[in-house]
A and B are shown apart, each in its own frame.
Chain A
Amino acid sequence: EDQVTQSPEALRLQEGESSSLNCSYTVSGLRGLFWYRQDPGKGPEFLFTLYSAGEEKEKERLKATLTKKESFLHITAPKPEDSATYLCAVLLSGAGNTPLVFGKGTRLSVIA
């Protein structure tokens, strides 16, 4: 069965303390991997798309990387406004259109 596992479940950082979130996947074929940010009670906000191993994307304090088995979301010098749940999702390969399969997320808290 295709699975997406995110770790840790929750992470508490001091402002300025860099860290990484992990998304590992066991799928039969990966078409793409997506990172989202979700604030409480709101819809997920798209951050990055990664399509092939070795690919990297950056946006402000966030950098996403992809290997054949996992993806990392690196957060450099985080600020309190980076507090949110970060979700990763995989798009499976196959005929036609397939839905995104989401992990359960990492709940990030950044303390001033």
Chain B
Amino acid sequence: DSGVTQTPKHLITATGQRVTLRCSPRSGDLSVYWYQQSLDQGLQFLIQYYNGEERAKGNILERFSAQQFPDLHSELNLSSLELGDSALYFCASSVQGYTEAFFGQGTRLTVV
């Protein structure tokens, strides 16, 4: 158990809908990352937050947004969902932005 909690574990939704994925980082970790992993694809970095502030942005679509709250949990919002958004979404956390990151078990999103 990495100490990073992601909910829900599975999500099935229709195209055009909006969903929210939630992540609770390890106790004491200030940095949260979101990654997307599609079938046969590597881990694609989406966005990073550090102590509530956005620190780095990857190939995140405009339909996607995220935030980190004062209690350090983070949410990833995905809207106007398309079939191609079906993937595993991982959250990871680290103490600082330059130390090893620990991953949650992911949310499997299926868009039908």
Chain A residues with a Cβ under 8 A of chain B: 31-32, 34, 36, 41-46, 49, 87, 89, 91, 96-105
- Number of inter-chain CB pairs below 8 Å: 68
Q: Assess A100 versus B103: contact at CB under 8 Å? Given A43-B2, A44-B90, A105-B42.
A: no
Q: Assess A102 versus B42: contact at CB under 8 Å? Given A43-B90, A97-B31, A97-B55.
A: yes
Q: Which 9 A-B residue pairs are closest in the complex by CB-CB distance?
A: A97-B97, A43-B103, A104-B42, A102-B43, A99-B45, A97-B55, A44-B103, A43-B105, A49-B100
**Chain B residues closer than 8 Å to A34, beta-carbon distance:** 100-101
Chain B window 55-98, contacts with chain A (Cβ cutoff 8 Å), 1 for yes, 0 for no: 11010000000000000000000000000000010101000111
Q: How large is the interface on B (under 10, 10 to 19, 20 to 34, 35 or more residues)?
A: 20 to 34
Tell whether, in the assembled complex, residue B56 and residue A97 are in contact, meaning their CB atoms are under 8 Å apart.
yes
Question: Which residue of the partner chain A has the closest CB to B90?
Answer: A43
Q: Whole-angstrom distance between the alpha carbons of A84 and B22 in the complex?
A: 26
Tell whether, in the assembled complex, residue B108 and residue A98 are in contact, meaning their CB atoms are under 8 Å apart.
no
**Chain B residues closer than 8 Å to A36, beta-carbon distance:** 103
Tell whether, in the assembled complex, residue B105 and residue A42 are in contact, meaning their CB atoms are under 8 Å apart.
yes
Question: Which residue of the partner chain B has the closest CB to A103?
Answer: B42
Chain B nearest CB from A73 CB (Å) reads 15
Q: Whole-angstrom distance between the alpha carbons of A98 and B101 in the complex?
A: 12
Centre residue among A43, A44, A49 by max chain B CB count within 10 A: A43
